[in-house]
Each structure stands twice: as C-alpha cells, then as structure tokens.
Amino acid sequence: MQWSSSSSSTNNHFHVGATPMSEQIIPVPKPLKYAN
C-alpha cells in the first residue's frame, strides 16, 4: 500500500471509492434519507 507515496491521490480515490461503496454496502441510510 502506497499511502505516503500518493497521499493526495489516495485521499481522492478513497473519497470516490468510499462514497459508492458505502451506499452499496449500507442501502439503509439511502432510503432513510430519502424518506426524511
């Protein structure tokens, strides 16, 4: 894992990857927010 190598690149990738992954892994908060 090259975290120190590309901190900026990793941060961006993590954000982009964590967003869709979280929604797919936790499809509960998605509908909950929609209903709210």
What are the pLDDT digits (tens) for 1-36?
A: 555 555 555 555 555 555 555 555 555 665 666 655
CA distances from 34 to 24, 27, 29 (A): 15, 11, 8
Structure tokens at 22: 């979280």
Q: Please provide residue 12's backbone torsions phi and psi, each rounded to the nearest 5 degrees.
A: -65, -45
**Coil, strand, or helix at residue 27?**
coil
DSSP assigned state of 34: H
pLDDT value of residue 23? 55
Rounded CA separation 4/34 (Å): 38
pLDDT value of residue 36? 55
